[in-house]
């Protein structure tokens, strides 16, 4: 029984390291696309950003977090930054738009 628990811990640690690496790879690829400034990169950017979000949720799960708790934390962070008049909110209203989108879904 101890061997199975030990193997599960090792498997989880390896998965966590792999997810961290995948997140970094996706972010690096996004930076590369942005640096090139290609006009037709919309699909690639959407793919990479959605991949970072997906991997972040999976990493959170492997670290013992619930998806719902991650979403609640995200909503709290959005609300706080709206109240604190974050520059992105002040300039564009993006945080309010994102919060509204999340609340609808």
Domain boundaries, the chain: 1-65, 66-105
Tokens 């309010």 -> residue? 96
Structure confidence by residue, pLDDT tens digits, 48-105: 999 999 999 999 999 999 999 999 999 999 999 999 999 999 999 999 999 999 999 8
Q: Please, where are the H alpha helices in 63-93?
A: 67-83, 87-92
| Digit-coded pLDDT (tens) for 43-59 | 999 999 999 999 999 99
**Burial degree of 54 (CB within 10 A; 0-12, 13-18, 19+):** middle
The two structure tokens encoding residue 85: 């008049």
Calpha distance 94→51 (Å, rounded): 21
Task: Give Cα 63 distance to the centre of its chain.
Answer: 14
């Amino acid at each position: 029984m101890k061997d199975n628990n030990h193997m599960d811990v090792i498997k989880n640690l390896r998965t966590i390291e792999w997810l961290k690496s995948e997140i970094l790879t996706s972010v690096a690829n996004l930076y590369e696309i942005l640096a090139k400034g290609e006009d037709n990169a919309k699909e690639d950017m959407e793919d990479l950003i959605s991949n970072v979000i997906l991997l972040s949720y999976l990493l959170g799960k492997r670290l013992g977090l619930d998806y719902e708790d991650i979403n609640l934390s995200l909503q709290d962070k959005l609300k706080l930054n709206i109240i604190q008049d974050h520059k992105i909110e002040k300039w564009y209203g993006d945080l309010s738009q994102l919060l509204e989108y999340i609340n609808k879904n």
